[in-house]
Amino acid sequence: MSSGESDRLLMSDPIPLALPAIGERERELVADVLTSGRLALSPMVERFEHLVAAAVDAPHAVAVSSGTTGLHLAVRMAEISAGDEVITSPFSFVASANCVLYEGAKPVFVDIDPDTLNLDPAAVENAITPRTRAILPIDIFGYPVELDELRDIAARYELALIQDSCEALGARYRGQALGSHGHPTVFAFYPNKQITTGEGGALVVETVDEWRLAKSLANQGRADSGGWLEHARLGFNYRMSDVTAAIGVGQLEKLDDVLAARSTAATRYTEALDVVPGLETPCSDDPDHTRSWFVYVVKLASEIDREAVISQLADAGISTSRYLPSIHLQPYMREQFGFREGMFPVCEDTSSRTLALPFFTDITEHQQERVCDAVARAVSGTLSA
């Protein structure tokens, strides 16, 4: 095949929305686990937990089977129960609200900031009632929430604060890593995240007692002492497997390089797309907020036909996704709680106009150029139509 033919093939190759960066190190560690014959509850999980805690400057980490299970454990540990309310964001993946429902409590949504897309602290405080037991903010798309304001509100009203940092491994708030601020924080490692374990997550906590409780709850309620069939409390099978942990160890060993590569890719997108009329790029870092790049999501002007843009990009072999639908407008949320359009206008407007572009650690400059050219053509065509 000639170099010209090869170039033409590369020009037309599909560009996925996300792609995990798995290398020889991960394969080596998985092979070690398989060779050992210990596929569960072996030292590999403990090794992974230590690396997670070190990466986010937290005292303790508990490896779990997903970010969702980590959030559920944090809600259970906060003793949330039926009749309680938890204030959270309607602009998130549904797991952040579902983990409240698992305990019979009610998610109370408040609107988001139009720039950061995170919870508005003033709206949080206005939503507090005698039934409120916790605040569950989401560092959406890897951008840190207004943590000091939310911690102050939680302290004044004696509420638990549970941070959903599932999209934000490596982000920093006022110079400190998310996970190091003293309250339970959850990270997720699905294949589209900064690092992946396939499926998996981690809950980081401040005290030994919290760590012991989380470990017990994630392991069928087993106590520190006692036999395999002795259970101190009702628990869950939320354990992480050792094969999963082995992938995570390999991923965490290169975390700094991964974060740097994703930051570079995000900068390339921003520089190219900032000049496209009708398109808004993600908010920039500032002295208090350092984003960890999970996805690259743009916001289209209201007059742009998003579906037409998606269709044109698909024709060019470029994957996209509508990030994110409003949780309160999901069918089961409408049916159970009577949520409807117009309740959270900033969230709903954002949901109708945001679009995730292909973004992953090993995305090439050439792939990003293709994406940017296609986006500019699609947006321009829609504006002029």
Cα separations in angstroms, 301 against 76, 257, 346: 41, 34, 14
Specify if 141 maps to a domain.
Answer: yes
Look at residue 42 in the predicted model and tell me its pLDDT.
81
Look at residue 65 in the predicted model and tell me its pLDDT.
98
Looking at residue 275, which CATH number applies to its domain?
Answer: 3.90.1150.10
Question: Which of 231, 252, 273 is a domain's end point?
Answer: 252
Look at residue 162 in the predicted model and tell me its pLDDT.
98
Look at residue 4 in the predicted model and tell me its pLDDT.
45
Specify if 11 maps to a domain.
Answer: no
Look at residue 268 in the predicted model and tell me its pLDDT.
98
Torsion over CA of 151, 156, 70 and 325, rounded to 10 degrees?
A: -70
Residue-number span of the structural domain to which 305 is assigned: 256-320+358-384
Look at residue 226 in the predicted model and tell me its pLDDT.
64
Look at residue 327 in the predicted model and tell me its pLDDT.
98
Look at residue 39 in the predicted model and tell me its pLDDT.
84
| 313 contacts 16 by C-beta, under 8 angstroms | no
| 68 contacts 95 by C-beta, under 8 angstroms | yes
- Average pLDDT for consecutive 10-residue bins of the chain (385 residues)? 40 91 98 90 93 98 98 98 98 98 98 97 98 98 98 98 98 98 98 97 97 96 80 95 97 98 98 97 98 98 97 98 97 97 98 98 98 97 76
Q: Examine the domain organization and report whether 108 and 193 are in the same domain.
A: yes
Question: Which of 252, 279, 309 is a domain's end point?
Answer: 252
Q: Examine the domain organization and report whether 51 and 169 are in the same domain.
A: yes
Look at residue 11 in the predicted model and tell me its pLDDT.
56
Q: Examine the domain organization and report whether 149 and 293 are in the same domain.
A: no
Strands (E), 84-236: 85-88, 106-109, 132-136, 160-161, 163-164, 172-173, 176-177, 185-188, 201-205
Question: Which of 200, 230, 252 is a domain's end point?
Answer: 252
Q: Examine the domain organization and report whether 69 and 160 are in the same domain.
A: yes
Look at residue 383 in the predicted model and tell me its pLDDT.
78
Q: Is the peptide bond before 213 cis (omega within 30 degrees of 0)?
A: no
Look at residue 9 in the predicted model and tell me its pLDDT.
38
How many domains does one find in the chain? 2
| Long-range contacts at 18-21 (CB < 8 A, ≥ 24 apart) | 18/191, 18/192, 18/295, 18/358, 18/359, 18/360, 19/360, 19/361, 19/362, 19/363, 20/191, 20/192, 20/196, 20/360, 20/361, 21/258, 21/360, 21/361, 21/362
Best CA proximity match to 212, nearest among 77, 54, 40 = 77
Specify if 73 maps to a domain.
Answer: yes
Amino acid at 46: E
| 262 contacts 194 by C-beta, under 8 angstroms | yes
Residues of the chain above pLDDT 90, percent:
92
Look at residue 66 in the predicted model and tell me its pLDDT.
98
